[in-house]
Amino acid sequence: MTGTSGRRVDKLAVGDLTPAQRQVYDVILGGPRASGSQAFRIQDDSGGLEGPFNAFLLQPAVGLVLQEVGSAIRYQGELSARAREIAILIVSAEWDSAFERHAHEAVGRSVGLSDGEIEALRVRDFARLENDHEQLLARSTQQLLTDGDLADTEYEAFVEVFDISTLFELTSLVGYYATLALQLRVFRVPAPGTSEEAS
């Protein structure tokens, strides 16, 4: 399954999918990611899935659950759209994930992040964010990624400003997008429009 452009897994052709793979494919394209306006493509011109979604098809039972977790985090959580994209962009910066950066910088712009704020997240200059709550969220996200934990003072500050259920949501988001970044890295999935994608 090795691709010729640095990809380690070629995009799976729709006509070659097993019934289990087709179920995952249909759920992804029938869900909220594919409805309405999209900040980034999840399907290429031939019907193949972009980004991490193609890899979900490799192990459909796991891929189905992963897509459900991602859908819940993006569309059913309590974090504001801006807060969610701030956290995702910090994960993409920490993992240097080109596809996550491509996709979620576009989503971030669509929910009101400025180019300056997006650049600030890339370089972890969280003081440039809009307000103290966003700065706290950003620092907490970075600490989760760097330390795999929150120190007592940071934990207490986060729970006081937000609440414990929001912290659960944030830790779930960080874990989920770190998982995607790992898969994207291991399978060498490029961002659309890059030279690797065009090869």
**What is the number of domains present in the chain?**
2
Regarding whether 109 and 148 lie in a shared domain, the answer is: yes
Regarding whether 115 and 58 lie in a shared domain, the answer is: no
List Cβ neighbours of 55 (8 Å cut-off, separation of 6 or more).
9, 63, 183, 184, 187, 189
Residue 3 lies in a domain: no
More confident residue, 44 or 178: 178
Q: Which domain-ending residue is among 56, 74, 92?
A: 74
Regarding whether 127 and 38 lie in a shared domain, the answer is: no
Category of 9 on φ-ψ map: left (φ > 0), alpha (ψ -120 to 50) or beta: beta
Residue 128 lies in a domain: yes
Q: Which domain-ending residue is among 33, 56, 74?
A: 74
Angle at alpha carbon of residue 149, lines to 167 and 87, rounded to 5°: 50
Residue 1 lies in a domain: no
Answer yes or no: is pLDDT of 86 > 60. yes
User: Domain range holding 40?
Assistant: 14-74
Regarding whether 128 and 57 lie in a shared domain, the answer is: no
**Full-model pTM:** 0.90
Q: Which CATH number characterizes residue 178's domain?
A: 1.20.1290.10
Q: Which domain-ending residue is among 46, 74, 102?
A: 74
Average pLDDT of the residues in 66-81 = 95
Q: CB atoms < 10 A from the CB of 169, how many?
A: 21
Regarding whether 45 and 97 lie in a shared domain, the answer is: no
Residue 87 lies in a domain: yes
Residue 92 lies in a domain: yes
Regarding whether 36 and 83 lie in a shared domain, the answer is: no
Confidence of residue 5 (pLDDT cuts 50, 70, 90): low
Confidence of residue 62 (pLDDT cuts 50, 70, 90): very high
Q: pLDDT tens-digit profile of 7-49?
A: 888 899 999 999 999 999 999 998 877 676 676 878 888 999 9
**Percent of the chain with pLDDT strictly greater than 90:** 78
Regarding whether 59 and 107 lie in a shared domain, the answer is: no
Residue 41 lies in a domain: yes
Regarding whether 165 and 143 lie in a shared domain, the answer is: yes
Answer yes or no: is pLDDT of 193 > 50. yes
Q: What is the DSSP letter of 57?
A: T
List Cβ neighbours of 134 (8 Å cut-off, separation of 6 or more).
82, 83, 86, 126
Q: pLDDT tens-digit profile of 149-164?
A: 999 999 999 999 999 9
Regarding whether 136 and 97 lie in a shared domain, the answer is: yes
Confidence of residue 4 (pLDDT cuts 50, 70, 90): very low
DSSP bridge partners of 48: none
